[in-house]
Structure 1
Amino acid sequence: MTAFYHVCFVVPDIEQAMQDFQRAAGVEWSDPVSDRLGEWDYRIVFTTGGPPFIELIEGPSGSPWDASTGARFDHIGFWTSDVRQGSQRLEEEGMPVDFSGCPYGRPFAYHRMDSVGTRIELVDVSRQSSFLSRWNPDGKPMPAIDEPSRS
C-alpha cells in the first residue's frame, strides 16, 4: 500500500521556506495558493514532481496551521477511501482527532500521534483528482491507505 503522499510544515513565511527548501534540497515548487477554511485565511503550496510531496502552509494565529511560535513539522498525509471510518479507526488506536475539515465541507482530518510528536492527516481519495490536477497534473493516481495498490 502506498497511500502516503506528503509531509507538511507549518511556516510563518511561505516564500522564505520555499527558497530555503529549494536551496537546501533542490526542490521545485508550484505557485502558492490562497484559500479560506471557516474563519481562517491561509496560503498553501506543494512541491512539483510527484509523491511524496512537501507541503507548506502559512496560517494565521489560532488556526490549525498557527506558526506564531515558529515553523514546525506538522503532519504526514495519507489518502483514505472514507475519512469518517479512517478517523474512527485512528481514534480507536489512541490517536484522537485534533482538527476536522469535514464540518467545513472539506473531507480531511488531523489526528494526534503523540509518540512521534506530529499529526496524521487523512484526506478522502475523492479529492485526489482535483489535487493532482492542481499540484501534479502529469502524475498518476495514488491508492488510499485502506485499498490495494494500483499497478
Structure 2
Amino acid sequence: MIPRREDAMKMMGDYDRRRLLTAGGALGVGALVAAGVSAPAQAESVPCAMNPSAPYHVGYVVPDIERAMHDLGRAVGVEWNPVRDGRLGDWSYRIVFSRSGPLYTELIEGPEGSPWDPGEGPRCDHVGFWAGGIDTCSRRLVEKGYPLDFDARPYGRPWAYHRMPGLGLRIELVDISIQPEFLQTWNPGGATMPPLNC
C-alpha cells in the first residue's frame, strides 16, 4: 500500500522534508511552512546554498504577475518583495523575487516579442546560476552544445540565457559581480552564494 502524502511527510524528519521540498520545488520557506516543517535553526546550513553547481533561482514567465504572486502565495505561503518595473532595450517588463532564498522564485511579466514573451501562457522559463565570469561560462556552454538564446551583454547587463533542450527550458548565467546589488535589492542581509566553476 502506498502511504498518503501526509503520512509519508510525517515519517520523514524535518531535514529530509526540507531537502525534498526545496531541492525540486523552488518554493523555499513557504513550501516548508505549508508542509508543517519547522524552520531550520539559525546555525543550520541549507545544503544547496553551499553547492557551487546549485541554482540560485527558478524563473517563471507569467502574463499576470499579481495573479501569479497571489496564487503561489496563497497555495504555499511564498512571500514576495514589491514588484519592480524594468527596461531592457525596447522592452518594458515587470519583475519580482521571493523574499527568501536561495532558492529564490522569480516571476517576470514581459511583452510580446521580448525574452519573456508570455504568448503561450505562464511557464517555467529558466534556472539561474551565478557565473564566475559571464564571458567564459557562456562560451563554454556554447562549446558544450547549449546555444545562446538571448544575450543581455549588448544592453549593458551581465547575463545570458542558453537553451537546454533536454530540460525544455533555459539556463540563465548571471555574472557574480552583480550579486551584491541583487542581495541589496531582493534580500538585504542575505548570504552570498557561490558561482559556477566554469
Q: Which amino acid aligns with 1:100?
A: D
Query: Deviation of residue 38 (structure 1)?
Result: 0.3
Do structure 1's residue 129 and structure 2's residue 163 form an aligned pair? no
Letter in 2 for 1:27: V
**Which residue number corresponds to residue 55 of structure 2?**
4
Structure 2: 5+ residue stretches without partners: 1-50
Q: Secondary structure at the match of 2:56?
A: strand
Equivalent residue runs for 1:1-80 within 5 Å: 1-2=51-52, 3-80=54-131
**Cα offset, 1:117, TM superposition:** 0.2
Distance in 1 of aligned mates of 2:110 and 2:59: 13
The AA in structure 2 aligned to 1:113 is: M
**Structure 2 Cα separation of the partners of residues 140 and 116 of structure 1:** 28
Q: Post-superposition shift, 1:128?
A: 0.2
User: Which deviations, in whole Å up to 9, do the C-alpha atoms of 1:98-123 show, x marking residues without a partner?
Assistant: 00100000000000000010000000
How far off its partner does 1:25 sit? 1.3
Residue 133 of structure 1: how far off its partner (Å): 0.2
Indicate the residue corresponding to 2:136 in structure 1.
85
* Amino acid in the other structure paired with 1:36: R
What is the TM-score with the length of structure 1 in the denominator? Answer: 0.95
**From 144, 151, 161, the counterpart of 1:100:** 151
| Structure 1: tracts of 5 or more residues without a match | none
4+ runs deviating over 4 angstroms:
none
The TM-score normalised by the length of structure 2 is 0.73
Partner in structure 1 of residue 165 of structure 2: 114
Q: How many residues align?
A: 147
Larger Rg computed on CA atoms: 2
Higher helix share: 2
Deviation for aligned residue 1:93: 1.0
Distance 1:113 1:12 in 2: 23
Q: Cα deviation per residue 1:73-95 (whole Å; 9 max; x = unaligned)?
A: 10000000111110111011110
